[in-house]
Structure 1
Amino acid sequence: MRGPCRIAAMLILAGAPAMAQVADLRSTTQFRVCADPANAPMSSQDGTGFENRLAQAFGEWLGMPVTYTWFPSGMGFIAKTLREGRCDVVMGYAQGDELVQNTNHYYTSVFGIVTRKDSDLAQVDHLADPALKGHPIGVIAGSPPATIMARAGLAKDMRGADLFVDRRVKDPVGDLVAGVRDGTLGAAVLWGPLAGPRVKADPDLQFTPLLKETAGPRMFYRITMGVRLPEQEWKRQLNSLIRRHQDEIHAILRDAGVPLVDDYGQELVQ
């Protein structure tokens, strides 16, 4: 998360007149989405990501065609897309980031363990399980589970990957999942929306949500849409759609293989 100092600096640099004009940036004829072109299985320029499907649904509910501004995730994404007025909404945004105004969350998901179904680790459902020790375990560097794994004595077993790369040329999550499939890794601990759809497509793999962790950091997070800071009416409009179409949103996510939990981290019954 970026700190409040950065937001304060942003507002000072923007100035009051610029902020007053922001409300006029939103299109009333298109559902304009800011997205990473190569963030499969979430967003993809070929339209196959589950966020693409969700964006299409929101466009239909709004009665607007969906258009995209593509920009790689990472530093500068919000500045070069949403803040420049080139698009009006960021799908799949973690609740609480200060660079955007968050809508109500439209799903909550969880980190989990990817293993082979025929593995000795297939029954593992918490990171303190002694069975994990001595096995190479893939994890995204700096992610919440990495902290718990280090605390559980798994630091020497961790095989870290960097998520903040240009995914048009690198696929760190795909590489970790492939490592589990071919036995190079005993398991991989990954964010559900990134891992779940990949596992659903592979009959040899399984995803076990981490629902039994009792020490922080937490393993489940609410996911929202991001809009520009002053656009209250736009946020309310999206919130209304989320409320009225929650069952349909969950159906799209389940069909994609995204693991869903409730606001207390308990698995949702389908």
Structure 2
Amino acid sequence: MTTPRSAGGPRHRIHTVLAAALGLMLGAGLVTAAGAQPAAAPAEARSALRVCMDPNNLPFSSVDGQGIENRIAEIFGRALGLPVTYYTFPNRMAFIRNTLRYKLPGADYPCDVVLGVPVGFDQVAVTRPYYRSTHAMVFAPGRAGLDGVRTPEDLLALPPATLKALRIGVYDRSPASQWLVRHGLVDNGVPYNMLSPDPQQYPGEIIERDLVAGRIDLAIVWGPIGGYFAHRVKEPQLRVLPMASEPGVKLDFEMAMGVRHGERDWKQQIEGLIDSRRGEIEAVLRDYQVPLLPLSAPLAQARP
């Protein structure tokens, strides 16, 4: 794990912590009028929109500003009239402690918002959600007898010999692992370490490296990862099948942003941006091939 460092610039973050949070713990914020503009006074008190970011976490974030969260941060920065700066740290279990809640010796916190935390994540004050997605199957239809698979139910209906032979890549302790257990496919699972100590590991390796090379026949991953990396692979052509939650296995989650507990005004301001820039946010998500589901009705207010 590297030492936290700063990265600036207007163009300059989730899989491991997200997956751990979803796997291990498996609130929207205060509601304002739809389309409301953020209050001006808090924005004027800030010199920059300071974002906590993983530098190597596509499709969510990257040090060169090519991730979903980088794009959304730019939208928010323009709306606030502020430059966007980043404080980077590999997204592992200690990510929040080493970014959002890390107070520099004799100075202030280095960043003020995390873009991309699951609703219900209690290490931060969670805003209202800005998108909802689900886990997805990713595979090459021309391999392993998967030509006719167009829904998860089709997969389960494959001939027993074909189904038994499948090698299914999943991140350990994730909802995908639970899905394998529920359907009696544990022996098919090829586990991947969710919390690798290697800061260069990135979420899409399971697709770009092992699925493409034929080391596994199918991967079950968080939808934004599946959509983005399947679209990036040109050969073989890959199919992405969003999955629905089942009794005892929750596969879809609403994603929000996080600020420090007690920063009520800042949280409300971020929520105002989520509301007023919702169309732009959705356009970014679609650009990155994120499988989107409708957001649920507003939930109870999260703890400020």
TM-score normalised per structure 1: 0.83
Query: Following TM superposition, by how much is the alpha carbon of 1:73 offset from its aligned partner in structure 2, in angstroms?
Result: 1.1
**Counterpart in 1 of 2:127?**
103
CA RMSD of aligned residues (A): 2.1
Amino acid at match of 1:129: L
* 2:60 equivalent to 1:35: no
User: After superposition, what is the alpha-carbon deviation per residue over 1:157-196, rounded to whole angstroms, capped at 9, x for unaligned?
Assistant: 1001012224532235313443222222110000011221
**Counterpart in 2 of 1:238?**
270
**1:188 partner SS:** strand
Higher mean C-alpha displacement, 196-205 vs 126-135: 126-135
Amino acid at match of 2:61: S
TM alignment of 1:11-26, pairs within 5 A? none
TM alignment of 1:68-87, pairs within 5 A? 68-83=86-101, 84=103, 85-87=109-111
- Given that residues 135 and 157 in structure 1 are in contact (C-alpha distance below 8 angstroms), is that contact kept between their aligned partners in structure 2? yes
**Counterpart in 2 of 1:197?**
228
Query: Following TM superposition, by how much is the alpha carbon of 1:233 offset from its aligned partner in structure 2, in angstroms?
Result: 0.7
**Counterpart in 1 of 2:243?**
210
- Given that residues 136 and 220 in structure 2 are in contact (C-alpha distance below 8 angstroms), is that contact kept between their aligned partners in structure 1? yes
- Given that residues 170 and 219 in structure 2 are in contact (C-alpha distance below 8 angstroms), is that contact kept between their aligned partners in structure 1? yes
Of structures 1 and 2, the one scoring higher in RCO (CA 8 A, sep 6+) is 2
CA distance in structure 2 between the aligned counterparts of 1:194 and 1:161, rounded to whole angstroms: 15
User: After superposition, what is the alpha-carbon deviation per residue over 1:5-32, rounded to whole angstroms, capped at 9, x for unaligned?
Assistant: xxxxxxxxxxxxxxxxxxx9x9611000
Q: How many residues align?
A: 241
User: After superposition, what is the alpha-carbon deviation per residue over 1:57-76, rounded to whole angstroms, capped at 9, x for unaligned?
Assistant: 11111111000000111132
Q: 1:227 aligns with which of 255, 259, 269?
A: 259
**Counterpart in 2 of 1:5?**
none
Q: 1:255 aligns with which of 273, 278, 287?
A: 287
Amino acid at match of 1:242: I
Unaligned segments of structure 1, at least 5 residues: 3-23, 265-270
Higher helix share: 1
CA distance in structure 2 between the aligned counterparts of 1:146 and 1:34, rounded to whole angstroms: 29
* Superposed structure 1 runs of 4+ greater than 3 Å apart: none
**1:125 to 1:177, Cα distance in 2 relative to 1, 3 A:** farther
TM-score normalised per structure 2: 0.74
**2:274 partner SS:** helix
**1:216 partner SS:** coil
